[in-house]
Amino acid sequence: MIELTPLARPYAKALFASSLELDTTEETGNDLKLMAKISSSPEIKRLIDNPTISKKELTKNMNDLFVGSISDSSNTLINILSENKRLNLIPAISDIYQKLLEKHNHQQSITVFVANKPSDEAKIDIENKLRSTHGKESKISFSIDPNMMGGLFIKIGDETLDLSIKGKVKKLVNQLNF
């Protein structure tokens, strides 16, 4: 399977630069989230991947699908992607665009994996510590992973911090095995 990120990056950067000029970064980000969600559905994937549909017909179908729900610049993106047979890049473009937007807004997405649902007090304490280190505008989400046994596993962008019992056991086993 081909890695789509390198193909999607130029489109995401160009769209972000355009939306910065037009002061529509948030609107475009919301458009891309919607477009990514819809284009990831099995029915739309089949439509995009169907070799018997002409570029013109595919462009029309995609434009009809999003009519009235996305901005003109997002609609232009669909036309360009359709013309270049790159509609399969929409989810990757959306991911890259969201990261560019977070960086522009000095935000970070942080995911905290826990074994059990934390108490409200523990959750607030974790959020406060993460925000004091990584910025007050950081978006923090919690995800439950019972396989961790206990502790925390924190993912900040592409960095991870493993404070879980499972991680500590794994580290101990690796040390014993040299």
pLDDT digits (tens, 9 = 90+) for 113-123: 998 898 999 99
Kindly compute the dihedral angle of the four CA atoms of residues 12, 15, 18, 23, in this order, to the nearest 10 degrees. -90
Residue type for 59, please?
T
Average pLDDT, the chain: 88
Q: Are residues 158 and 92 in the same domain?
A: no
Q: Are residues 79 and 55 in the same domain?
A: yes
Closest Cα partner for 152 from 140, 139, 166, 138? 166
Q: Are residues 114 and 94 in the same domain?
A: no
* Cross-strand partners of 140: 110
Torsion sign (Cα): 97, 102, 108, 111: negative
Boundary of a domain, candidates 42, 75, 104: 104
Gap between the Cα atoms of 123 and 87, Å rounded = 39
148 or 124, which is more confident: 124
pLDDT digits (tens, 9 = 90+) for 134-176: 778 788 889 998 888 888 999 887 788 888 888 888 888 888 8
Boundary of a domain, candidates 104, 125, 141: 104
Are residues 31 and 71 in contact, defined by beta-carbon separation less than 8 angstroms?
A: yes
Q: Are residues 88 and 115 in the same domain?
A: no
DSSP string, 133-153: HH-TT-EEEEEE-GGG-SEEE
CB within 8 Å of 32: residues ≥ 6 apart: 15, 74, 90, 93, 94, 97, 98
* CATH classification of the domain holding 27: 1.10.520.20
pLDDT of residue 72: 87
Number of domains in the chain: 2
Q: Are residues 11 and 96 in the same domain?
A: yes
pLDDT of residue 178: 66
pLDDT digits (tens, 9 = 90+) for 8-53: 999 999 999 999 898 999 999 999 999 999 989 999 889 888 888 8
Pairing of strands 151-156, 109-114: antiparallel
Global pTM value: 0.64
**What is the span of the domain harbouring residue 154?**
109-177
Q: Are residues 132 and 90 in the same domain?
A: no
Q: In a 3-state reduction of DSSP, which class is residue 157? A: coil
108 or 74, which is more confident: 74
In which band, very low, low, confident or very high, does the pLDDT at 1 lie, cut at 50, 70 and 90?
A: very low
Gap between the Cα atoms of 10 and 68, Å rounded = 26
